[in-house]
Amino acid sequence: MLRTVIATAATAATLSGPTHAYAQDSSLTRAYSAAECPSCAGWDTPTRPVHLFANTYYVGTSGLASILVASPDGHVLIDGGLPSSAPAILRNIETLGFRVSDVKIIVNSHEHYDHAGGIAALQRATGARVLASDAAAATMMRGVPGADDPQHAIALPMPRVPKVETVPAGHVVTLGQLQLTMHATGGHTPGGSTWSWTSCEAERCLNFVYADSQTPISQDGFRFSDNPRALAAFRDGHALLERIACDVLITPHPGASQLWQRVKTAPDGLIDPDACKRYATAARLQLDNRLAIERR
């Protein structure tokens, strides 16, 4: 059944071709200056879209992931990069032969400007519904991080998304035959989410995990040791990433999971059933190191 569905999606994609008919609004795609964000220009360097496996595609920039999970009933887009990444993401979707207007749902890893900043423009261009955790939804609609974000004083503001629907942890987002599960993996931000789905081609199915950032970064003066909610969110997230079915790990910053090396031999080079466990182990170590520094 799934094989038929994917074959149909590929045919539709081939026939549709680039349209360039999406709405663009420069106020939603303004690039941050080098003074505001020294890393942004590097992250935002365009790159070609990559067919990862079956109905899963990388459509982000070279330094910020955006993933398209395609189906004949419409597509789900995960993450929107920076505000200025949105045009490149839309171009990549069209280069693959998909219609931008067929993106029906946009979801997010975490509510920072470098992963959610492009969502307002992408929502405007696609007309998609935007779904996120409670905390991420509130931040995206406000355009600035909440007071409980460890980086709330240093994370840049981003264009507001007019409407974001909230989904609880464990919720399965369905679109036709697509099913993507949201897992709460906060800590880096209060609303951080990991998304998992299965992509199949012929008789082969792979479990994809788009695992949120796990870095315990903060503004000066913030102490994770004084924030039991952030600590518990990190610990729960690490445990989840250790037990989740995970053939292919993708991270919001592709370098954090060596994506560019692995895609050279995709799809087999993408597969590593221990990658999520190692990601969790490294994250636990980073957090423990941070807590040790805070105790000094």
- Which residues would be at the binding site for Zn ion (CB under 5 A)? 112
Q: How far is the CB of 188 from Zn ion (least distance, A)?
A: 6
Q: How many CB atoms lie within 10 A of CB 20?
A: 9
Strand order in the sheet with 193-201: 172-175, 178-184, 193-201, 204-210, 248-250
CB of 25 to Zn ion, least distance (A): 24
Q: Phi and psi (nearest 5°) for 32?
A: -70, 145
CA nearest to 291, candidates 212, 229, 238, 227: 227
- CB 115 → Zn ion: shortest distance, Å? 7
How far apart are CB 48 and Zn ion at their closest, in Å?
Answer: 25
Supply the minimum distance, in Å, between the C-beta of residue 37 and Zn ion.
12
Cβ proximity to Zn ion, 138 vs 175, nearer residue: 138
Q: Which is nearer to Zn ion, 112 or 124 (CB)?
A: 112
Whether the CA torsion 292, 294, 295, 296 is positive or negative: it is positive
Residue nearest to Zn ion (CB): 112
Q: CB of residue 62 vs Zn ion: minimum separation in angstroms?
A: 17
Residue 117: name the closest of 82, 154, 86, 161 by CA: 82
Residue number with CB closer to Zn ion (94 or 149) = 149
* Sheet of strand 75-78, all strands in order from the earlier edge strand to the far edge: 50-53, 56-58, 67-69, 75-78, 103-107, 129-132, 165-166
- What are the distances in angstroms from CA 120 to CA 26, 106, 108, 173? 11, 10, 12, 20
Which residues, at least 6 apart from 147, have a Cβ–Cβ distance to it below 8 Å? none
Identity of the residue, 13 or 130, whose beta carbon is nearer to Zn ion in the bound complex: 130
Q: Compute the distance between CA of residue 30 and CA of residue 53 in angstroms, rounded to an integer.
A: 32
Nearer to Zn ion, 49 or 252 (CB): 252
* Nearer residue to Zn ion within complex by CB, 216 or 267: 216
